[in-house]
Amino acid sequence: MNSAKLLYSKVTTAHRAKLAYVYLRQSSPGQLVHNSESTARQYALVERAVGLGWPSDRVRVIDEDLGRSGTSIPLEFAF
């Protein structure tokens, strides 16, 4: 059994009943420009989740902070 089928078999109906989240991260505007392939691969994880059985409307993408350093996080979000 190849690794994709093995992973698919481990994802259960209980997993798919939950939302799938894909968090994208590039810490600076420069990384967005110079690492566009990495960003594209991160967005492709949405299709990976769909391929594992999540309906596309149950996959959420979190990319609001792309290109922003963690040092710019407002203090109310700091740990």
DSSP classification of residue 38: H
Which of these is catalytic: 3, 9, 27, 56?
27
User: For residues 66 and 64, what is the distance between their CA atoms, to the nearest angstrom?
Assistant: 6
27 a catalytic residue: yes
* Number of C-beta neighbours around residue 26 at 10 A: 20
Give the residue numbers annotated as catalytic, written as ranges.
27
